[in-house]
């Protein structure tokens, strides 16, 4: 009897929570949440040399943030910095970094701290993909995708999260993908990496909440874009294409910044 009462109580609590969140969402449609200012924030963006990363760098710089561009391609990374400086914005820096290289990430993190300051917003955007079936993926390709899309998140979190925890202030943004919610053709390597990003972000957020007794003010945002026209891959064939329209990097970046703010 006790277990039955307990179950009914939990069901009632669930119903009340659902009603609460529905009412809260309706209220937020009428009275939107005021967006946080990013003026003066130090934003580090991985994969800033092209695509979404470049547009994120431009977007944050336009809003008054100090932007740190990180990319393995030094030429395109410097181009992003130059494009921002042409806008009359000087608070932008560029560091070449292979985010899959643990020691390199830690070295760059030290340089950033010394030359710019503590990162307050970390955007883990860098990612790669090889559009091939599983049996056609070379072992080195599989390892590289895992290193860039998953392991890099561990290295950047280890490098930049401690200062956020120490100050009890900061925000981590990670790009997963709609491919991190469902499997797609030729995604036998890419999809699991995006599933992993989802799991990592949820777990770190929960871990920090528990360890801080609910007092942590460090925020975590995971983004699940639909297919973005970055040139990394051709548009995948889906069962319901009308619900899977592609986004430009500019629109994707605007949505990500809005979500973080």
Give the confidence band of 179 by pLDDT, cuts at 50, 70, 90.
confident
The terminus-to-terminus CA distance of the chain in angstroms comes to 48
Please, what is the average pLDDT of the chain?
A: 92
Who's near 89: CB < 8 A, 6+ residues apart? 61, 62
Alpha-carbon distance of 110 to 193, in angstroms, equals 27
Work out the angle at residue 61's Cα, subtended by the Cα atoms of residues 124 and 221, and round it to the nearest 5 degrees: 30
Active site residues: 190
pLDDT score of 231 more than 70 = no
pLDDT score of 66 more than 70 = yes
pLDDT score of 251 more than 60 = yes
The pTM score is 0.84
Q: 33, exposed or middle or buried, with CB in 10 Å at 0-12, 13-18, 19+?
A: exposed
Closest residue by Cα to residue 157 from 114, 229, 109: 109
Say what the pLDDT of residue 237 is.
54
Alpha-carbon distance of 192 to 25, in angstroms, equals 31
233 against 141, higher pLDDT? 141
Alpha-carbon distance of 6 to 111, in angstroms, equals 55
Handedness of CA 139, 141, 143, 146 (dihedral sign): negative
DSSP H or E run through 202:
helix 190-211
Contact 167, 122 (CB under 8 A): no
Say what the pLDDT of residue 10 is.
94
In this structure, the number of other CB atoms found within 10 A of the CB of residue 18 comes to: 10
């Amino acid at each position: 009897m006790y277990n039955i009462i307990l179950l009914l109580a939990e069901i009632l609590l669930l119903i009340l929570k659902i009603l609460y969140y529905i009412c809260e969402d309706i209220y937020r449609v009428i009275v939107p949440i005021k967006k946080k200012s990013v003026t003066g924030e130090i934003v580090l963006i991985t994969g800033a040399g092209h695509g979404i990363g470049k547009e994120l760098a431009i977007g944050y710089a336009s809003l008054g943030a100090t932007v740190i561009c990180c990319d393995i391609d030094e030429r395109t990374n410097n181009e992003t910095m130059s494009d921002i400086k042409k806008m009359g914005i000087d608070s932008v820096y560029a560091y070449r970094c292979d985010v899959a290289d643990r020691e390199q990430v830690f070295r760059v993190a030290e340089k950033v701290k010394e030359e710019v300051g503590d990162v307050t917003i970390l955007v883990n955007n860098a990612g790669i993909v090889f559009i091939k079936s599983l049996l056609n993926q070379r072992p080195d390709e599989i390892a590289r995708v895992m290193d860039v899309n998953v392991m890099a998140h561990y290295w950047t979190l280890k490098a930049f999260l401690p200062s956020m925890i120490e100050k009890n202030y900061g925000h981590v943004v990670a790009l997963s993908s709609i491919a991190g919610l469902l499997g797609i053709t030729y995604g036998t390597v890419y999809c699991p990496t995006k599933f992993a990003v989802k799991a990592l972000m949820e777990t770190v957020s929960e871990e920090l909440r528990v360890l801080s007794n609910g007092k942590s003010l460090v925020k975590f945002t995971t983004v699940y874009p639909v297919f973005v026209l970055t040139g990394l891959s051709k548009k995948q064939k889906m069962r319901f294409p009308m619900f899977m329209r592609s986004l430009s990097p500019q629109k994707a970046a605007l949505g990500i910044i809005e979500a973080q703010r």
